[in-house]
A = this chain, B = another copy of it.
Amino acid sequence: MRLVVCFLSLLTVFGPAECGNVLVWFSDGSHWINLKIVLETLIDRGHNVTVLVPDASLFMKAKESDRFSYQPFNASVDEQEMRDFIEELVYFSVYETDQLNLLQFLMKFYNLASIIQDMCTSYCDGILKSSKLMDKLRNGKFDIVLSDPMYPCSDILAEELNVPLVYTFRLSIANVLERMCGQIPAPPSFVPGVMSKLTDKMSFTERIMNMLFYLSQDFFATIAWRKFDNYYTEYLKESPTVHPIMKPLSLLIYSRHEDMEEFVQSSGDDGIVVFTLGSLVEKMLKETINKIASALAQIPQKVLWRYNGEKPDTLGENTRTYKWIPQNDLLGHPKTRAFITHGGTNSIYEAIYHGVPMVGIPLFADQPDNLVHMKAKGAAVVIDNIKTMEPQDLVDGLNTIINDPSYKENTMRLSRIHHDRPIKPLDEAVFWIEFVMRNKGAKHLRVEAHNLTWYQYHCLDVFAFLIAILTVVLYAFFKMCKFFIIRCCFRKSKKE
């Protein structure tokens, strides 16, 4: 893969922009939720935004009210297929990982990874191999391609259209993409690989685990990306390299609901607990749901639970379920005492923003990792395994973060630091996107690392040369010493 910009986040306030044309590569789920807000701002600033959208998508629904244009494309993935896959992925992560033996686990993991790859290939084909669509895009006079590197091939599109590319990016497993960026340092000694569930304070054993995690994921990434090598050989003549732009986002705006406010106010001094498990998880085993509901029934707080399934048998008087809740508004409510969360990035940022302590029930992806870090900062209690969780664990967790004042203090400290920045993250993202449009790319920010081989990057050729020189010198020295000693002894013995 190849691209144009690679830098750490920088911040800004800035003047009016020249109107440009922005092309957005397909993305889905929380990735799309975040990207959409950046696109809205680009439109506010006078740019035209066109979004590539496949026939089937979970979140990317073309609405008349949307202000950006959609450019549909055909992909051989239907919506049910995607829902089934996500359910399988969640079930695998939550219920299966510790039941399977290593071989079964690896096979299942490989199987799921293959499905993702097939889907991605289908999207790549849908765009790159449709000559009609490609011609239309070529005539679209785009100034920039925006994409999330989770979804491959946007770099090829940018290359084909001959326009700069900007990635919006949350993370990659074991920082594989971030490290390829070259500019982002990740010494395995103190940078825990993303999704390793480690923090920056690691014991010797943990550092070994971290190193193995990096090495194995590097290996896995090499295997996984082999599937896309065809594309790169076909479209690009150069060997593929990667360097993404980092862009953390944290703000979502929702509207208020009156009946909800009434329920929140009825909680009195005990306050409320907000409970969601993210945008992708719709269904869970009935047993798990009942355990959760019975735990919630035991606390004095009122609970607002975003839950879409059948009503649990053990649901308490104090708990109400909603198909959707204005999570960010509720977290900002003065009566909110705690937040039960799966630990998705947006949820974590919203909890930090409002300074609400968390009980974490991580499911998959970066969620366990995010919550480990919140726990290390003293802002969360984490329930490691939703499958083996007992109701009392959840009750204890909630009581701890609500009654031990250190959790509130720590979360408020994080909140203060989070707010104490020179400029809003959204403005920051938009500034750098426009920067790339204005300057027709940002080649001056590319690190020279991309033009080095792996052994050059790690200075192995230099070390080999220096060690060779040293060896020759030492060898010559040793030979000389030997020569003189023998000669000396030889003369001596001759004399004798």
The interface of chain A, by Cβ under 8 A from chain B, is 8-14, 182-185, 187-190, 200-201, 204, 207-208, 211-212, 416-417, 420-423, 427-428, 431, 435, 438-439, 444, 447-449, 451-452, 456-459, 461-463, 465-466
From the candidates B9, B422, B435, B458, name the one contacting A14 in the complex (CB within 8 A): B422
Q: Are B201 and A448 in contact (CB under 8 A)?
A: yes
Cα–Cα, bound, A204→B452 (Å): 11
Closest to A9 in B: B10
- Beta-carbon contact of B439 and A417 below 8 Å: yes
Q: A8-B8, A11-B11, A448-B200 are in contact. Are A457 and B423 (CB under 8 A)?
A: no
- Pairwise interchain contact B457-A187, C-beta atoms closer than 8 A: yes
Query: Does A444 contact B417, Cβ atoms closer than 8 Å?
Result: yes
Interface residue from B185, B187, B431, B466 paired with A422 (Cβ < 8 Å): B431
CB-defined A-B contacts under 8 Å, sample of 30: A10-B10, A10-B11, A11-B11, A11-B423, A12-B421, A13-B422, A182-B190, A183-B185, A185-B185, A187-B457, A187-B458, A188-B462, A189-B452, A189-B457, A189-B459, A190-B449, A190-B452, A200-B447, A201-B451, A204-B462, A208-B462, A208-B465, A208-B466, A211-B462, A211-B466, A212-B466, A416-B439, A417-B444, A420-B435, A420-B439
CA distance A77 to B349 in the complex (A): 54
| Chain B residues within 8 Å of A416, by CB | 439
Contact of A11 among B417, B420, B422, B438 (CB under 8 A): B422
Question: In the complex the two chains form, is A458's CB within 8 Å of B189's CB?
Answer: yes
CB-CB under 8 A from A461, the residues of chain B are 204, 207
Chain B residues, CB < 8 A from A417: 439, 444
Q: Which residue of B lies closest to A184 (CB)?
A: B185
- A201 CB to closest chain B CB, in angstroms? 6
- Give the residue among A10, A427, A451 with the most B Cβ atoms within 10 A: A10
Q: In the docked arrangement, what's the CA distance between A466 and B209, Å?
A: 11
Copies in the complex: 2
In the complex, besides A12-B422, A184-B185, A188-B459, 18 extra interface pairs with C-beta distance below 8 angstroms are A10-B11, A13-B423, A182-B190, A187-B449, A187-B458, A188-B462, A189-B459, A189-B462, A201-B448, A204-B462, A207-B456, A208-B466, A211-B462, A211-B463, A416-B439, A417-B439, A420-B439, A423-B423
The residue of chain B having its C-beta at the shortest distance from the C-beta of A414 within the complex is: B444
A277 to B184, CA, bound (A): 37
Whether B14 contacts A459 by the Cβ 8 Å rule is: no
Closest CB in chain B relative to A217 CB, distance in Å = 16
In the complex, which residues of chain B have a beta carbon less than 8 angstroms from the beta carbon of A420?
435, 438-439
Closest residue on chain B to residue A207 by CB atoms: B462
What residues of B have a CB within 8 angstroms of the CB of A427 in the complex? Answer: 422
Contacting residue for A13 out of B13, B201, B428, CB 8 A: B13
With both beta carbons as reference points, the residue of chain B lying nearest to A430 in the complex is identified as: B422
Checking B187, B421, B439, B457 against A459 with a beta-carbon cut-off of 8 angstroms, the contacting residue is: B187
> How far apart are the CA atoms of A8 and B211 in the complex, in Å?
26
Complex CA gap A458/B187 in Å reads: 7
Which residue in B8, B423, B448, B459 is a CB contact (below 8 Å) of A12?
B423
Could you say which residues of chain B place their CB within 8 Å of the CB of A212? 466
Residues on B with C-beta less than 8 A from A208 are 462, 465-466
A320–B208 alpha-carbon span in the complex (Å):
68
Residue ID in chain B nearest A14 by CB atoms: B422
Complex Cα distance, B184 from A427, in Å, reads: 25
A189–B449 CB distance below 8 A: yes
Complex Cα gap A428–B13 (Å): 12
Distance A13 CA – B427 CA, assembled complex (angstroms): 12
In the assembled complex, the CB of A338 is this many whole angstroms from the nearest CB of chain B, namely 23
- Can you name the residue of chain B whose Cβ is closest to the Cβ of A457? B189
> B423 touching A189 by the CB < 8 A rule?
no
Closest chain B CB from A477 CB (angstroms): 20
Residues of B within 8 A of A184 (CB): 185
- Alpha-carbon distance A182/B186, docked complex (angstroms): 10
Q: Is the CB of A189 within 8 A of B428?
A: no
Nearest Cβ on chain B to A187's Cβ, whole angstroms: 7
Separation of A13 and B12 alpha carbons in the complex (Å): 8
Residues of B within 8 A of A462 (CB): 188-189, 204, 207-208, 211
**A190 touching B448 by the CB < 8 A rule?**
yes
Distance of A461 from chain B, by nearest CB (Å): 7
| Chain B residues, Cβ within 8 Å of A435 | 420
Nearest-Cβ distance from residue A158 to partner chain B, whole angstroms = 21
Chain B residues closer than 8 Å to A188, beta-carbon distance: 459, 462
